[in-house]
Amino acid sequence: MTNEPRDRKKVIATTEELLAYSLALEEEAVERFNELADQMEVHNNHEVADLFYKLAEIEGKHVENVNRAAEGKQLPDLLAWEFDWVDEGYSPEGGALEDAHYLMQPWHAIELAKHGEQRAVAFFRHVASSATDAGVKKLAEELVAEEEEHVALLEQWQERFPRPEEDWDDDLDPPTILE
Amino acid sequence: MSRQSLSIALSGSGGSGVMTTGSMLLEAAGKAGWYGIMTRSAGPQIRGGEAAALIRVSDQPLESHDDSFDLVLAIDPASLGRFMGEIPLREDSVIICDMAGGRRDASLPETLAREIDLPMKKMAKAVKGGRPNMIALGVLARVIGLPEGSIGGILEKVLRAKGADALEASQACVKEGYAAGAELPAFSGPPITDVPDGERWSITGNEAAGLGAVRGGVRFVAAYPITPATEVLEWLAGSLPKLGGVLVQAEDELASINQIIGASFGGKPSLTATSGPGLALMTESIGLAVCSEVPVVVLDVMRCGPSTGIATKNEQSDLNIALNGLHGDAPHLVLAPTSLSDCIFTTQWAVHLAEAMQTAAIVLSDQSLGQTRAIVDKPADIAFIAKRNVPEVVGETYRRYAIGDSPVSPMTIPGQPGGQYTADGLEHTEAGAPSSLYDDHLAQLDKRSNKITNFNFGEHWADIDGTGDTMVITWGSACGPVREALSRLRAQGTEVRMLAIRLLAPERPEDMRAALEGVKRVLLVEQSHSKQFYRYLRAAYDLPAEVKLFHRPGPLAFKPGEIIEQLSDWCGSEKL
Amino acid sequence: MNDTSACSRLGPKEYKSGVKPVWCPGCGDFTVLGSLTKALSGLNIAPENAAVISGIGCSSRMPTYLSTYGFHGVHGRALALATGLKVARPDLTVIATGGDGDGFSIGGNHFLHTCRRNPDMTYIVMDNQVYGMTKGQASPTTEPNWEKGKLTPSGTGINPFQPLVIALASGANFIARCSSSDQNGTAKVIMEAIRHPGFSLVQVLSPCVTFRPEQREWKKLVQPAPVEATSDPAQAARRLLTDEGLYTGVLFKGHRPPYQPTLESTIDQVTELDEEFQL
């Protein structure tokens, strides 16, 4: 996983645009954590499922925050691929699907969430440093601070869970035959 | 034996055009107010092989060939040998034959019939561009008593595209032949009558099935060419676009059946036509139509099996696969036309039933019904058309496979807002989500079964005729000779009942019980080596104590006289 | 919500049915589901006007997870079923989805002939080079020396099927390769594929984390093809000669008109057909 933006060409010009980015990022985080929670539920990993639902709930609050900040503003209508993220094909907090595992433990779940937040920090930091508009710069810096806070919170949370053993993904049963 | 009809065989080889000649003769007979049938028989060559047109005309509607032939015209003697098994002759039959040089040709089969030499090839040569088959047409028209004028219009219609010279040559040949026919023994054909325009049709069973399909509402057909079903497709390919429909020639039968499931899912009543090998390929997906509850009609024009079998000849041996060929518990409809004209009704009814019950219907026509051309009374236009239970308004929580008051649940059509669902061949919940639970499986099995067994099929499940305590039970193309046999018996004062089963699945135990009321003896007639119809009836129904079976494989067609012979033990041979 | 920016467009999640997928966590198909919903949202297609058709296999479960109309049919026949639907209902957006076994092995003949026929629909193949639902046998796209397939313990020893080459040779009108590691890029290509007239093939490299865990590495190996899409089949063919299966992007955009019979009647009544039979 990479946390550093590569080859980002575009500079975010307006606070409206930045809010659209922020909203998409948080909305996708909600969607992703809900998806992961559903996956864990289907695979009977209820502890991690609950954790992901909790994370989705927290991200939902972030969506509300962005919406509040956007009140009265006309945000640009961008399609998923029109966002110029960090050249990764997904928003900073949206790229966790392929890192999931049915035997993953709470520690992994938080690790996965933490990576997303770290990517978000890196993204907004890039926005702040490349911004030419003072409003954008200010907002991006606020967002950096917010995301850093999330990283710190997740680090604290992660300490409550033991680091998994080497063989955490061992399953003695063979896969099930379906169709 | 009653003699209300004339049976004529016309044979030739090497592109002698006997099929065209036969068709023209049949049409001329129709114009003269006669009924008639024509079947075709041919060698294995795609071009140039031996070919025979077998024609029978009468003043009564016909559904079967007679026990023997009155008249044979062989354009060349050698061509006849191949068909003698299909053309029984009597002492008073006549063979008109071109024995080049006047000597009896060794290749002409030995028969009881009287042989008459007619130099048709030489006569044709005398006309510029003349052909022996047109001489033969004139000869036959004269010998069976058709007016000369009855040929003219038909010649023009058929040969118009060939140009004025060809038409003129043919007209001259027919004239020559007609004159020559005056010198030959005459047969007394049926009286010439004037039938109002449009009251008689010339149609094949395959065309009839196609017409039934579009009358029933079919507007999408996907199919792969196969003998003897191809003519259904050819007719539909020309007719569907006129109705805003379409026929797609698919890459194989697996594609055909799935394309029609897709089109029907999209709301268009859909059909495919095939024969045994194609039906075998389709069975997995017919099960899909059953499980996903998408209405489709599969028309199987049966031929001799197994495997490629005898592709051009008749047999009733796909009954087992049609009834039992689907894996799992897959209740569906199986129907069979009881006559050539009935190919219209039964196919149309099948479309109606499949749509009404949202399931698969297999229609078992056969080569004999399909490829026979007949002059028939104008078929009735019946009101059975596709009417699917499509909800006008979709509620808040639409469940495609809901178990409700009726086992036929409302089916939305793509494009209907709020009606979205996933049709599934996996067992599913009422909402359509995959399920492997016993309760869901049982509920959906019951639903799919109940909608068919509880349906009110009415009287159309079978054709029931006659009185008496003896009954013949049969189906498909075997009905024709049986019907004629029983009508001959009736003419002589012997009553035998007949049951021609149109709806083979689901079983109708109540209806069968009523039909068998007072019946002591049953003769079963079927064209299958392994007694498929007999075994089906034994498994599905309670039959009277005395049951006799008359069965044989194709391609040898049943003759009315054989049926009478089978009944002679019971009805007394002296009466026959 | 003051999210006025979204206008009347449905968001991607509105295209999900709410049924929870049975795919293994980590499977690429989850990402493709997201890509497809983003593409449908981008095109602003009403869910009732789209139909997603599939056969059998892990990726063929797709329709159940979508809020569009769907058909989960039998193994290998998705393209045939989808063709029937599209021909009968040209007004619908028809998409077929499935895997490499469903599409290129048991359904191989339909693949060839659907490319040839060129109906206006999109086929998304999630290629993981393995049969997942039957426990990890080699598929038509498996490399010949892969020895973990229980039915081919010494490797298949036979050439892998080349979907893009076959599609090009058979007449597909739009050919692309994507990677499930790039959800938004895949979404964009799917949207283009749906928009492009005729038959569009989108091969998505979608790892099977259970039977081919090494495919997690694909993410690092794939790269955008260094060229733009071409409309010249010969040029596309030359590019495929040097392609090792890991370049992503749109390869080919053709100009062949789609197969679509007109469905306009020329007579008013079925009874008008009776005339040809009347003597």
B168-183: pLDDT as tens digits: 999 999 999 999 999 9
Q: What is the mean pLDDT of residues B25-46?
A: 91
3-state helix, strand, coil in chain C (%, to 5): 40, 20, 45
Q: What is the mean pLDDT of residues B162-172?
A: 93
The reported pTM is 0.96
B293-323: pLDDT as tens digits: 999 999 999 999 999 999 999 999 999 999 9
Residues B366 and B227 in one domain: yes
Q: What is the DSSP letter of C103?
A: I
Task: Tell me if residue B473 falls in helix, strand or coil.
Answer: strand
Write the CATH number for B350.
Answer: 3.40.50.970
Output the CA–CA distances (angstroms, integers) from residue A172 to A44, A167, C101, C136, in the order listed.
16, 11, 27, 17
Report phi then psi at B56, rounded to 5.
-135, 135
CB spacing of C1 vs A81 below 8 angstroms: no
Query: Which residue from B30, B202, B214 is facing C270, i.e. has the nearest CB?
Result: B214
**Is the model's pLDDT at C210 over the cut of 80?**
yes
pLDDT, mean over chain C: 95
Q: What is the mean pLDDT of residues B509-519?
A: 97
Contact pairs from chain A to chain C, CB under 8 Å: 115
**Is the model's pLDDT at B427 over the cut of 70?**
yes
Q: Which pair of structure tokens corresponds to residue B457?
A: 């099929």
- Using the Cβ of B197 and the Cβ atoms of chain C, whether some distance falls under 8 Å is answered with yes
Give the separation between CA B85 and CA B556, rounded to whole angstroms: 8
Task: With respect to residue C17, please indicate whether it lies within any of the assigned structural domains.
Answer: yes
Strands B470-474 and B521-526: parallel
Task: With respect to residue C2, please indicate whether it lies within any of the assigned structural domains.
Answer: no
Angle at the Cα of B415 from the Cα atoms of B409 and B420, rounded to 5 degrees: 50
The letter for the amino acid at B89 is: L
**Is the model's pLDDT at C75 over the cut of 50?**
yes
Query: Which residue from C22, C38, C134 is facing A177, i.e. has the nearest CB?
Result: C134
Give the separation between CA C125 and CA C163, rounded to whole angstroms: 9
Residues B418 and B301 in one domain: no
Q: Which domains does chain A have, with CATH numbers?
A: 15-159 (1.20.1260.10)
Q: What is the pLDDT of residue A176?
A: 84
Give the separation between CA B132 and CA B121, rounded to whole angstroms: 5
Residues B348 and B420 in one domain: no
Residues B464 and B544 in one domain: yes
Percentage above 90 pLDDT, chain B: 85
Write the CATH number for C54.
Answer: 3.40.50.970
Report phi then psi at B13, rounded to 5.
-155, 170
CB spacing of B416 vs C48 below 8 angstroms: yes
Count CB neighbours of A152 within 10 A.
Answer: 12
Omega before B77 within 30 of 0, i.e. cis: no
Task: With respect to residue B191, please indicate whether it lies within any of the assigned structural domains.
Answer: no
Task: Tell me if residue B474 falls in helix, strand or coil.
Answer: strand
Task: With respect to residue C5, please indicate whether it lies within any of the assigned structural domains.
Answer: no
> Chain B: nearest CA to C278, how far in angstroms?
5
Query: Which residue from C3, C30, C181 is facing A89, i.e. has the nearest CB?
Result: C181
- Using the Cβ of B288 and the Cβ atoms of chain C, whether some distance falls under 8 Å is answered with yes
Residues of C in contact with B411 (CB under 8 A): none
Task: With respect to residue C239, please indicate whether it lies within any of the assigned structural domains.
Answer: yes
Q: What is the DSSP letter of C5?
A: G
Q: Which chains touch B (3 or more CB pairs under 8 A)?
A: C
Task: With respect to residue C174, please indicate whether it lies within any of the assigned structural domains.
Answer: yes
A87 — pLDDT class (breaks 50, 70, 90): low
**Is the model's pLDDT at C1 over the cut of 80?**
no
Q: Which chains touch C (3 or more CB pairs under 8 A)?
A: A, B
Residues of A in contact with C184 (CB under 8 A): 80-81, 83, 85, 89-90
Query: Which residue from C25, C30, C42 is facing A43, i.e. has the nearest CB?
Result: C25
DSSP annotation string for B478-539: GHHHHHHHHHHHHHTT---EEEEESEEES--HHHHHHHTTT--EEEEEE--TT-HHHHHHHH
C62 touches C97 (CB < 8 A): yes
Q: What is the pLDDT of residue B136?
A: 97
- Using the Cβ of B27 and the Cβ atoms of chain C, whether some distance falls under 8 Å is answered with yes
B500 touches B463 (CB < 8 A): yes
C87 touches B255 (CB < 8 A): no
Residues B135 and B232 in one domain: no
**Is the model's pLDDT at A7 over the cut of 70?**
no
The letter for the amino acid at A80 is: A
The letter for the amino acid at B430 is: E
Query: Which residue from B244, B259, B432 is facing C81, i.e. has the nearest CB?
Result: B259
CA B100 to the chain's CA centroid: 39
C43 touches C85 (CB < 8 A): no
- Find, among B373, B499, B286, the residue nearest to B25 by Cα: B373
Report phi then psi at C223, rounded to 5.
-150, 150
Q: What is the pLDDT of residue A89?
A: 64
- Find, among B338, B299, B314, the residue nearest to B527 by Cα: B314
Residues of A in contact with C13 (CB under 8 A): 31
Residues of C in contact with A76 (CB under 8 A): 5
Task: With respect to residue C22, please indicate whether it lies within any of the assigned structural domains.
Answer: yes
Give chain C's end-to-end CA distance (angstroms, integer): 73
Output the CA–CA distances (angstroms, integers) from residue A166 to A163, A169, C264, in the order listed.
9, 8, 67
Q: What is the pLDDT of residue B14?
A: 75
Q: What is the mean pLDDT of residues C215-222?
A: 94
CB spacing of B220 vs C273 below 8 angstroms: no
A9-48: pLDDT as tens digits: 578 999 999 999 999 999 999 999 999 999 999 999 999 9
Write the CATH number for B559.
Answer: 3.40.50.920
Bridge partners for B299 per DSSP: B273, B363
Determine which of B211, B258, B400 to mutate to test the interface with C (most C C-beta atoms within 10 Å): B258
Q: What is the pLDDT of residue B124?
A: 95
Percentage above 70 pLDDT, chain C: 97
Residues B170 and B250 in one domain: no
- Residue ranges with strand state E in chain C: 50-54, 69-72, 93-99, 122-127, 130-131, 137-138, 174-179, 200-205, 223-224, 247-253
**Is the model's pLDDT at B573 over the cut of 70?**
no
C94-137: pLDDT as tens digits: 999 999 999 999 999 999 999 999 999 999 999 999 998 888 99
Task: With respect to residue C4, please indicate whether it lies within any of the assigned structural domains.
Answer: no
Residues B122 and B234 in one domain: no
Enclosing domain of residue B303:
202-377
- Using the Cβ of B250 and the Cβ atoms of chain C, whether some distance falls under 8 Å is answered with yes
Write the CATH number for B55.
Answer: 3.40.920.10
**Is the model's pLDDT at A4 over the cut of 60?**
no
Report the number of distinct structural domains present in chain B. 4
Which chain C residue's Cα is nearest to A20?
C5
Query: Which residue from C83, C89, C274 is facing B267, i.e. has the nearest CB?
Result: C89
- Tokens 């069976």, located at residue: B144
B441-453: pLDDT as tens digits: 999 999 999 999 9
B49-64: pLDDT as tens digits: 889 999 999 999 999 9
Q: What is the DSSP letter of C105?
A: I
Phi-psi region of B17 (alpha: psi -120 to 50; beta: other; left: phi over 0): left
CB spacing of A97 vs C207 below 8 angstroms: no
C136-165: pLDDT as tens digits: 999 999 999 999 998 999 999 999 999 999
Residues in chain A: 179
Enclosing domain of residue C136:
10-277
CA B274 to the chain's CA centroid: 13
Residues B316 and B407 in one domain: no
A6 — pLDDT class (breaks 50, 70, 90): very low
The letter for the amino acid at B144 is: I
Task: With respect to residue B190, please indicate whether it lies within any of the assigned structural domains.
Answer: no
Strongest mean pLDDT among B12-26, B182-196, C38-52: C38-52
> Chain A: nearest CA to C266, how far in angstroms?
44
Q: What is the pLDDT of residue A8?
A: 54
B72-124: pLDDT as tens digits: 999 988 888 888 888 999 999 999 999 877 778 888 888 899 999 999 999 99
> Chain A: nearest CA to C78, how far in angstroms?
16
- Using the Cβ of B404 and the Cβ atoms of chain C, whether some distance falls under 8 Å is answered with no
- Find, among C86, C73, C88, C130, the residue nearest to C105 by Cα: C130
Task: With respect to residue B292, please indicate whether it lies within any of the assigned structural domains.
Answer: yes
Report phi then psi at A141, rounded to 5.
-65, -40
DSSP annotation string for B239-269: HGGGBT-EEEE-SSHHHHHHHHHHHHHTT--
- Using the Cβ of B163 and the Cβ atoms of chain C, whether some distance falls under 8 Å is answered with no
Residues of B in contact with C265 (CB under 8 A): 242-244
Q: Which pair of structure tokens corresponds to residue A53?
A: 């639902």
**Is the model's pLDDT at B409 over the cut of 90?**
yes
Q: Which pair of structure tokens corresponds to residue C74?
A: 């039998």
- A124: part of which helix (H) or strand (E)? helix A106-130
Task: With respect to residue C3, please indicate whether it lies within any of the assigned structural domains.
Answer: no
Output the CA–CA distances (angstroms, integers) from residue B485 to B67, B365, B561, in the order listed.
10, 21, 7
> Chain C: nearest CA to A155, how far in angstroms?
23
Percentage above 70 pLDDT, chain B: 99
CB spacing of C48 vs B255 below 8 angstroms: no
**Is the model's pLDDT at A168 over the cut of 90?**
yes
**Integer-rounded Cα radius of gyration of chain B:** 26
Task: Tell me if residue A125 falls in helix, strand or coil.
Answer: helix
Q: What is the pLDDT of residue A96?
A: 82
Among A98-107, A170-179, B30-39, B181-190, where is mean pLDDT lowest? A170-179
Q: Looking at per-residue confidence, does B468 or B571 come out higher?
A: B468
- Find, among B4, B148, B128, B7, the residue nearest to B73 by Cα: B7
Q: What is the mean pLDDT of residues B389-416?
A: 94
Residues B488 and B499 in one domain: yes
Give the separation between CA C243 and CA C205, rounded to whole angstroms: 14
C29 touches C59 (CB < 8 A): yes
Residues B466 and B449 in one domain: no
Residues B438 and B348 in one domain: no
Determine which of C16, C45, C77 to mutate to test the interface with B (most B C-beta atoms within 10 Å): C77
Give the separation between CA B297 and CA C66, rounded to whole angstroms: 29
Q: What is the pLDDT of residue A86?
A: 65
**Is the model's pLDDT at B241 over the cut of 70?**
yes
Last residue of a domain, one of B355, B377, B399: B377
Residues B46 and B142 in one domain: yes
Determine which of C40, C52, C74, C112 to mutate to test the interface with B (most B C-beta atoms within 10 Å): C74
Give the separation between CA A135 and CA A13, rounded to whole angstroms: 9
C199 touches C114 (CB < 8 A): yes
**Is the model's pLDDT at B1 over the cut of 60?**
no
- Using the Cβ of B421 and the Cβ atoms of chain C, whether some distance falls under 8 Å is answered with yes
CB spacing of C51 vs B414 below 8 angstroms: yes
Report the number of distinct structural domains present in chain C. 1
- Using the Cβ of B237 and the Cβ atoms of chain C, whether some distance falls under 8 Å is answered with no
Report phi then psi at B116, rounded to 5.
-125, 130
CB spacing of C278 vs B200 below 8 angstroms: yes
Question: Which residues fall within 8 angstroms of residue B254, CB to CB, at 6 or more apart?
Answer: B281, B282, B285, C76, C77, C80, C109, C110
Q: What is the pLDDT of residue C2?
A: 41
Q: What is the mean pLDDT of residues C179-206?
A: 97
Q: Which pair of structure tokens corresponds to residue C138?
A: 């080699």
Q: What is the pLDDT of residue B574?
A: 45
